[in-house]
A and B are shown apart, each in its own frame.
Chain A
Amino acid sequence: MLDFSVFTPEVFKAYILQGLYFSFLLTLVATLGGIVFGTALALLRLSGVKALELVAATYVNGMRSIPLLMVLLWFFLMVPFIIGRPIGAELTAVITFIAFEAAYFSEIVRAGIQSIPRGQVYAGQALGMSYGQNMRLVILPQAFRNMIPVFLTQTIILFQDTSLVYIITAHDLLHGFTVAGNNLSRPRESYILAAVLYFVICFSLSWTVKRVQQKVAIIR
């Protein structure tokens, strides 16, 4: 009933490879962008300035209470409207994922910063460090080290979520399998192979995360 014989390496190269590349690229860019903007949002939320805290909290909670698919639709509609010309589904996906993931990463960073004992903050202050110096030299290096496993777990979730660019028909990994399945009239086999490939990638990543977790733990 199932016939996988048409899925040769050539087919894989022609249909899947480019999508795989885009999914990886999207994951990487969104992770890095998410960490940078997420850290900025977290620092705003912990800044002690009420107005800044409110703005950051509204952004983060707003993003976290609507589905990624809706956010993709929003950006797909609004970005060309704001900058005045169409930019394509792929670039829209990249911008959306950075904006969306920043909200999730900021919660991770905030929890990481708050997990650092207060004594560390006071020690920095006692040494005469400014807020910026204290953050940069004392708090963030320790916090990031604690956060590495959570960052990596979030990255795996992010990689799975890249399949949702389906809604704006960006050419990602799943899109490659969908097109291959339709063109070769083997849609069912194609979806099964997609599931297998996603599983292999995500499972090996999460296995790696477990290893990393044991390595980076700070021994106190």
Chain B
Amino acid sequence: MALDWQVFCQDTIERTVVAGCFGTGGARGTQTYLDWLIAAWGQTVLVSALSLVVALVVGSIIGTIRTLPESPLLVRIGNVWVEFFRNIPLLVQLFLWYHVVPVLFPFFADTPKLALVVTALGLFTSARIAEQVRAGVQALPRGQRYAGMALGFTTPQYYRYVLLPMAFRIIVPPLTSEAMNIFKNSSVAFAVSITELTFFAQQAGEETARGIEIYLAVTALYVVSAFAINRVMAVIEKRARVPGFVASTGGGH
């Protein structure tokens, strides 16, 4: 079967081939499938990036409080958080945020769709990042904590200046896989009609009956993006490395 790449130059409404192919819409408000593909990629990147920020912030907080000495209540809250978000499938969590939360809690009634998706994906991933952060802090020799205490640091101070800077360096490899996971997991947003890559693949594949070409393009974008994230994280890992301290946890990536 011959591949027909011209499908990407078709208008999404009239299905006629548009000269110039890319960025020719505007006045008549039309777009080609190529325009749509790039826009969908943008949505995937947007959802993933925002979710990653949410996940990193929340995950770091939850992970940190799970390592606090002499605060059994906070540790317990952290554990419940992780178990809750880890043991329900992402798609079900997304439906809870999208269909249930805005009705039960009027506060969320006017929250935009994108924000609900970002919350769902961000909190789901926060549980996994919390697990990494906890492991990172606990991997440090106990003497580091005591050294901080002995210098007269308060608990927030020795976390800020002693424990967390090393812990985060140790967990860069697992965080790399989480960043790549979040990019792949953002595909569930299709289920609430966010026009990201997977939604585009399904929709455009059906409309044009050129599924193979459409899927190939989408798959290529996913692979390229995953590779790009991997490289960026490798640079961060290299830049952040403390001279003389080999933090190899053996992540296979």
A→B interface (CB under 8 Å): 1-2, 62, 65-70, 73-74, 77-78, 107, 111, 160-161, 163-164, 166-167, 174, 187-188, 191-192, 194-195, 198-199, 202-203, 206
A161: chain B residues at CB < 8 Å are 89
> Given that A62-B223, A111-B252, A192-B96 are known contacts, is A69 also in contact with B87, CB under 8 Å in the complex?
no
- Please tell me which one of the listed residues A69, A198, A206 contacts residue B89 in the complex, with CB atoms under 8 A apart: A198
Q: Which of B170-219 contact A (CB under 8 A)?
A: 180, 184-185, 187-188, 190-191, 197-198, 201-202, 205, 211-212, 215, 218-219
Is residue B84 contacting chain A, with contact meaning CB distance below 8 A?
yes
What is the minimal beta-carbon distance from A178 to any residue of chain B, in angstroms? 8
Most B-side CB within 10 Å, residue of A73, A74, A187: A73
Residue contact A198 to B88, C-beta cutoff 8 Å: yes
A160: chain B residues at CB < 8 Å are 87-90
- Binary contact readout B29-66 vs A (1 if CB under 8 angstroms, 0 otherwise): 00000000000000000000000000000000000000
Q: Which of B5-13, B97-105, B153-161, B238-246 contacts A (4 or more CB under 8 A)?
A: B97-105
The chain A residue sitting closest to B102, CB to CB, is: A188
Most B-side CB within 10 Å, residue of A78, A166, A187: A166
**Total number of B residues with any Cβ neighbor in A under 8 Å:** 38
Residue contact B83 to A174, C-beta cutoff 8 Å: no
Q: Which of B218-243 contact A (CB under 8 A)?
A: 218-219, 222-223, 226-227
Is residue B92 contacting chain A, with contact meaning CB distance below 8 A?
yes
Residue contact A206 to B87, C-beta cutoff 8 Å: yes
Residue contact A69 to B103, C-beta cutoff 8 Å: no
Residue contact B87 to A199, C-beta cutoff 8 Å: yes
CA distance A219 to B27 in the complex (A): 72
CA distance A1 to B100 in the complex (A): 11
15 contacts between A and B (CB under 8 A): A62-B223, A67-B184, A67-B185, A68-B184, A74-B215, A164-B188, A167-B190, A167-B198, A174-B89, A174-B92, A187-B99, A191-B96, A195-B88, A198-B88, A199-B87
CB within 8 Å: A-B pair count: 100
- Binary contact readout B99-116 vs A (1 if CB under 8 angstroms, 0 otherwise): 110011000000000000
A199: chain B residues at CB < 8 Å are 84, 87-88
CA distance A167 to B212 in the complex (A): 17
CA distance A161 to B180 in the complex (A): 17
Residue contact A67 to B222, C-beta cutoff 8 Å: yes
The chain A residue sitting closest to B215, CB to CB, is: A74
Is residue B67 contacting chain A, with contact meaning CB distance below 8 A?
no
- Please tell me which one of the listed residues A67, A107, A164 contacts residue B252 in the complex, with CB atoms under 8 A apart: A107
- Please tell me which one of the listed residues A67, A68, A111, A191 contacts residue B100 in the complex, with CB atoms under 8 A apart: A191
A69: chain B residues at CB < 8 Å are 187-188, 190, 198
- Please tell me which one of the listed residues B87, B92, B198, B252 contacts residue A191 in the complex, with CB atoms under 8 A apart: B92
CA distance A68 to B223 in the complex (A): 13
What is the minimal beta-carbon distance from A59 to any residue of chain B, in angstroms? 13
CA distance A111 to B185 in the complex (A): 24
A73: chain B residues at CB < 8 Å are 198, 201-202, 205, 211, 215
List the 8 shortest-distance A-B pairs measured between CB atoms, nearest first.
A202-B87, A67-B187, A65-B226, A160-B89, A67-B184, A163-B89, A69-B187, A66-B222
Residue contact A70 to B222, C-beta cutoff 8 Å: yes
Is residue B81 contacting chain A, with contact meaning CB distance below 8 A?
no
List 5 extra interface pairs beyond A78-B212, A198-B89, CB under 8 A: A66-B226, A68-B184, A74-B219, A195-B88, A202-B87
Most B-side CB within 10 Å, residue of A62, A65, A163: A65
Residue contact B92 to A195, C-beta cutoff 8 Å: yes
What is the minimal beta-carbon distance from A54 to any residue of chain B, in angstroms? 16
What is the minimal beta-carbon distance from B35 to any residue of chain A, in angstroms? 21
Is residue B135 contacting chain A, with contact meaning CB distance below 8 A?
no
Residue contact A192 to B91, C-beta cutoff 8 Å: no
